[in-house]
Structure formats: C-alpha cells, structure tokens
Structure 1
Amino acid sequence: MCPPPDPGSLRGGPAGTRTGADVTGTGQDGSRRTVVGIDGSPGARAALVWALADAARRGARLDVVTTFPVEVYWGDPQLLDERRIEAVRADMLQRATAQVEEVRAETGHADVQVGVTVAAGSPAAQLLAAAEDADLLVVGSRGRGAVRSSVLGSVALHCVTHARVPVVVVHPRADAALDPPRVVVGLDGSAESARALERAAAEAALLGGEVVAVAAYSPGSYWSDVYDVVIPPAERLEADARTGAEAMVEAAALPEGVPVRVETGQGPAGDVLVRAAQGAELLVVGGHGQGAIRGMLLGSVALHCVVAGPCPVVVVPPETRGERGAHGR
C-alpha cells in the first residue's frame, strides 16, 4: 500500500495546499487506511463517529479531511491573500482536531491512529484525492452544501460516482440496529453484486453478525394484457430469484463462520433493498448491476439505496482495492 499524502505537501499551488496534524493513537500498524470527510455539520459528525468505530474494528488508520474554498482569480493569481488563507487553514485545523478529540473521548476509541488534514479546494475533489490509495472513504449523507434541503449532498453523490474504493454514506438512523447485527446485500446475478456479497460477508465477520442476501423480482406492469401470457407468474419469478441468489452464495468465497440468509422481495430492487435494510447495520450494493443503462457512473439501484437508505450504505465500485482491507489480506 502507498503511504497517505504528505499533509505538508503543496499540490497545484494555493488551491491544492494541504496541511495537517496527527492526533496520536496506539494499536494500529498503519497498513490499512480509511478517509472520512468532515465539515462541522451533524451529518459529517455522524460519519466521523461511524468511521472511528469502523477503523477500530479493522485496525485501520483514520485520515480526517476537511476543506475550505479558495477563490482563484482568473486575471491575476497574485490577488490571493496568503495570510488570510493561512489564518483560515489554522482555524479549520483547530476546529477539526477539536472535533476529532471530542468524538474519540465520547466513543472510547482512543487506540485509533488519527490524522487530520486541511485542504484548500473542492471538498469532493480533495476527498477523492486523499482516498486514492485508501481502503475506504466515508462521507455523511448531507453536509454544508448550498442545497441544504437535498436528500443527498452533492459531495456524497460525487464521491460514490467517482471513487475507486468502496464508499460508505452514513445516514442518520431512524431506528435502533437489530441484534445480532445484520448486513444486507443486494444480489442480481452480476459480477458487481458478487463483489458486494463478498464485501458484505467481510463486514459481517467484523461485526459478529449475519448477511441477509436479498434478490428482488417484479412481474412488471404493462398496458397490454398480452404480457400476462408472456411473463411467468410471480411464484416462478420468486423461485428463480431465490435459486439464483442461493447459487451466488454457494459460489462465493466467503469467510468461514458467517451465516448467510437468502431473502426475496417483490418490487423494484431499490425499494426492496431499502425495506430489507430497516434495522440493519449496513446495506451493501454494487456500483453497477444488471440495469439497462450500463454506461451510467452509478446504477439506479445503488443510487436509490444511497439516497433512501435507512442505515449506512456501502457502495462497492466495479474494481476495488479496498476489498483487501475488509478481508484483512
């Protein structure tokens, strides 16, 4: 694994300048790394709480990234006030470090090695750059974006559509998690959902819980009654979905001792998964599945889950180096 970026390095002038500090901890060897973005919002704080607990479970270093905007003047870059930028950066570093210390004290995860980085520029771009060699990227579902009423923040959306590592979008919980912990994963026969299944099993192993593998089926609704003759009955569709999901579970390379239960649900796949994830610790989806529009940056089912998920949602990209961290390899 490549080491994290040097917090004191300069990348691309003032708009890419980073600075940081270590909030020391013990017990980690630094070989695994998680990146989490914070901006002072309740959603970002929830992401930090989740990321600290997850880093403690997997023995990972946690890199906390916060950003501030810098206006770059087209006509004359020299118009930038470096002293003001340094003052803003120092203030942001102090605030971010204080929040990290506060959350560490509240959660009791003092053994997690934590570093804080302040970067000037776009939050999404800086988070993606920081996570380039990480095992996981964690973001809140909403932050301090301009559209405060949006269901999903623009930073979270940009990260899940462009990151090369798994991204966790942390939603505020509407209910308590069930015991034992459940990790829900969607299966549709695609290679992407097979990778999501392996990720879900690895997460369940860390949590000491079970995997609920969910396959959705839908007879469809058409204007013409002729389709009633062509489309198999719902019972046949349910049986085919269950058989296919069970075959995927059987063929997957899963950790020993993790129970996997197959469930089916009738309706659009996104709705079925969101319902199944009520009370779950995690909902895991592949970034792309068997949808008709294969060129989209994020599949419609994954997007629906990221927007409407009742628990933290893990989006596994088509090819991910972060699986190594989840499996402990």
Structure 2
Amino acid sequence: MAAAPRHRHADPTTDLVTPPQVLVGVDGSTGSRAAVRWALHWAARHAAEVQVVAAYPAVGSMGWLAMGEVTDLSALDALHDDTWSAARETVDQVREEDAALLSVPVAIHVEPGPPAELLVHRSHDADLMVVGTRGRGYAASAVLGSVALHCVSSSACPVVVVPEPGGWADPGPGTVVVAGVDGSERSAAAVAWAMEEAGPRGQVTAVRAYGVADLWFDQYAAVAPTPAERDAAELAALEQGLTTLLQATRGEHADVHRLAVGGEAGPALVDQAAGADLLVVASRGRGEFRGLLLGSVALHCVLHAPCPVLVVRPTNRSWAPGRLRADGVVGAVGAGAPG
C-alpha cells in the first residue's frame, strides 16, 4: 500500500490538492527498467503518481516514410501500439517483483518524437523526473546528446539519474544519502532533499569541497592557512548553514554528518558516495548545459557516481521536501563560493 500523503500541493487553477507527479522515461533498456523501479518505489513512499513516457520515431524522422516509400500509415499505428505494450510490460515486470508497488497509480504516455524533448516538455508539470543511463558506454555518449544529459541540463524539475542496478537501495526509510554543499541557495535545497530522502532513520553526509590553491611563491607560506585550519574554517561555515536548515525542520530528521574536503567537488562527492544509496547535487540553472560540457560538478557526478544522482534544478512547482518549511531552505547553508 502507498504511504500516507505528505507532500501534496495545490493546483492554483482548481484549488484542488493533487499528489506529487513523477515522470519517468522508458525505452526498453535495462537502464530504463531500473529507472521505473526507482520511480515506483519513490512514488509508493511519497503517495505520488507516476507518468511513464515512451517515445517512438515521428514520421519526419523516418526517411522511409517521409520519402513516400510506405503509404500505409498503419505502420505507425503498429509502432505506437508496440511501444505502449513494451512500456506496459516494463511496468508490470517491476510491479511483479514487489507487491507494495501494485497500488502506485501509473499512467503511460506514448508519443512520437525525440524522447529527451518529450520528457523536458512534460517536466513543467512534474515534481521529479527519473531517467536511466546507457550502462558502461554512457560516458562516451554523454556529450553526444544522451537523453539523461539533456534532461539534467534542461528539465523544469529536479532529475534523478539511475545507473544500472548496483549495491544501492531503492527509495525508502533509513537510506544513506550524500549531499553536495557550496553555500548557494540551491545547495540548501539539495540538503533539504537529501534529508527528506534519507528519512528520520537514515543518514545524510553534507560534503563541502573547497579548492586547494597551487601558489608557487614563498611569501604565501607565511599567510596561508594550514590544511587543518582550512578544514576547520570550512566546517564552521558548513555548521552555521546546517544549523539554520535544521531549525527549519519539522519533526524528526536524519542524522546529518558534516564533512569538509579539499579538492575538486565532483571527484570528492563521487568518492563519498561509495556505499551510499543516493547522491544529491545542485545544478547551475539555465546556462548549465554549457557548464556540463566544460566539466560541471553535476556532470561528473552523473557520469561517475556508483548510485543514483538527484540533480536539484530550479522549479516553479510548489512541491518541496515535506519536513522543511520553504522559507527555511532559502539561503540556509551559508555563504561560500559557487560549486
């Protein structure tokens, strides 16, 4: 049975309360099956509805149809039906593995067109998007326009990228979550999501990575802080921000550990995610795709993390992690350099 509703939001056009909406892409691969499993478990925990999106080629992208070689468009109808059946089969297989998922509301949408564009279009009405990866060859294909990377860079809601099944657990109480903190408002939201996903019985590690200066002149040694002093300063900044965030928390929350590490944020977060069930990072906003190609933190984590990665993106939706007041998230993690 689905968990009791906790995070419903009002629809301003109808004044009705609607459950959170989870969007998940399906393409028949093992990666998308893992995404469906993750999405259904998340929906069961948060009393959400799942919107499954499956795409098939549009007429304009199918040269053999566009050139008029096939005049019977019933072939497209058959393609639509086959795509729907494959998506339905994926959902049914995941549900058969866990009876708790049978009560999760699922709607299947089959549409022609590029899958990434369809998902991004629907993300404006979603509270969370879940996509899979392409397995071992994923890193090589990332800059060539994979669905996952396009969604991470363009979605109107937070995105979870789920790798092929590994040692991590499905969404549920008591999970282990790592969150990246850089002093921005969006990283405060990342910590809030991390606390929500871990639950009161879980564990969150808030990681603040800081750059290590590579200065060559001797005079710097007389004024530069020692590594221990820098660690202490970074931990103090992290502690100040987390204290503000925790004060905005309703009820019990996860055990939150603080960690400051020197070095690049992406590799540091991936290292800390070893053994975790989820890694949460913040995006850089509308201009992020260019940053992705240049090696942003989010890209590094999506490509290399050993567990699912939740990328917190700007959203106009009112859904938010339920045990936190919305005003407590903004600016709660303290000042610092952007990640």
- Tell me, in whole angstroms, the C-alpha distance in 2 between the residues paired with 1:174 and 1:61: 25
Structure 1 residues 191-213: Cα deviation after superposition (integer angstroms, max 9, x where no partner): 111111111112222x7412211
What runs of 5+ residues in structure 2 fail to find an aligned partner?
1-9, 326-339
In structure 2, what is the equivalent of residue 105 of structure 1?
Answer: 96
Q: 1:45 aligns with which of 30, 33, 42?
A: 33
Supply the RMSD in Å over aligned alpha carbons: 3.2
d(CA) in 1 for partners of 2:26, 2:208? 34
TM-aligned CA distance change 1:173 to 1:232, over 3 Å: farther
Q: CA deviation at 1:231?
A: 3.6
Q: Given that residues 35 and 131 in structure 1 are in contact (C-alpha distance below 8 angstroms), is that contact kept between their aligned partners in structure 2?
A: yes
| 1:68-115 Cα distance to aligned partner (Å, 9 max, x none) | 112417999794753211110011111111121111111221010011
**Following superposition of structure 1 onto structure 2, how do residues 68-87 of structure 1 map, counting pairs within 5 Å?**
68-72=56-60, 79=68, 82-87=73-78
In structure 2, what is the equivalent of residue 256 of structure 1?
251
Q: Which structure 1 residue ranges, 5 or more long, are not aligned?
A: 4-28
Q: Which amino acid aligns with 1:193?
A: S
Q: What is the distance in 1 between the residues matched to 2:138 and 2:240? A: 43
Q: Which residue of 1 aligns with 2:310?
A: 314
Report the equivalent of 2:182: 188
Counterpart in the other structure of 2:227: 234
Alpha-carbon distance change, 296 to 234 in structure 1, aligned in 2, over 3 angstroms = farther
- TM-score scaled to structure 1, two decimals? 0.80
Q: Measure, in 2, the Cα distance between the counterparts of 1:120 and 1:61.
A: 23
TM-superposed deviation, 1:234: 1.2
Contact 1:202 1:254 in 2 (8 A): no
1:268–1:148 distance in 2 versus 1, CA, 3 Å: closer
Asked whether the 8 Å contact 2:282–2:298 carries over to 1, the reply is yes
Higher mean displacement: 169-178 or 83-92:
169-178
Shift of residue 46 of structure 1? 0.6
* Aligned: 1:124 with 2:112: no
Match for 2:93: what amino acid? E
Whole-Å Cα distance in 1 between the matches of residues 229 and 86 of structure 2? Answer: 58
CA distance in 1, matches of 2:244, 2:266: 24
Aligned twin of 1:15: none
Asked if structure 2 preserves the Cα contact closer than 8 Å seen for 1:218 and 1:237, the reply is: no
**Corresponding residue of 1:150:** 140
Task: Report % sequence identity.
Answer: 39
Quick one: which of 177, 193, 205 aligns to 1:212? Answer: 205
CA distance in 2, matches of 1:134, 1:190: 24
Q: Is the 8 A contact 1:185 1:197 kept in 2?
A: yes
Cα deviation, residue 256, structure 1: 2.6
* Contact preservation (8 Å) 1:151, 1:307: no
- The amino acid of 1:273's aligned partner reads L
Aligned-partner Cα distance in 2 for 1:223–1:49: 51
Aligned to 1:165: 157
**How far off its partner does 1:278 sit?**
1.1
- 1:276 lines up with 2:272 in the alignment: yes
Query: Is the CA contact (8 Å cut-off) linking 2:23 and 2:52 kept in structure 1?
Result: yes
TM-score relative to the length of structure 2 = 0.78
SS at match of 1:283: strand
2: CA distance, partners of 1:42 / 1:73? 25
1:139-183 per-position Cα deviation (integer Å, ceiling 9, x unaligned): 00227xxx7673647100000000111100001354355994211
Distance (Å, rounded) in 1 between the aligned partners of 2:288 and 2:164: 31
CA contact (8 A) 2:196 2:321 kept: no
Match of 2:81 among 85, 90, 110: 90
Structure 2 partner of 1:324: 320
Amino acid in the other structure paired with 1:65: V
Shift of residue 328, structure 1, vs aligned partner: 9.2
Any idea what SS the aligned residue of 2:320 has? helix
Distance 2:52 2:61 in 1: 29
**Inter-CA distance 92–273: structure 2 relative to 1 (3 Å threshold):** same
Relative to structure 1, the CA distance from residue 226 to residue 307 in structure 2 (aligned partners, 3 Å threshold; closer, same or farther) is: farther
Cα distance change, pair 322–274 in 1 and its aligned pair in 2 (3 A): farther
- SS of the counterpart of 1:212? strand
Q: CA deviation at 1:243?
A: 0.8
Aligned pairs, number? 298
Measured in 2, the distance between the counterparts of 1:99 and 1:295 equals: 30
Question: How far apart in 2 are the matches of 1:326 and 1:89?
Answer: 38
**Structure 1: distance between partners of 2:238 and 2:275:** 22
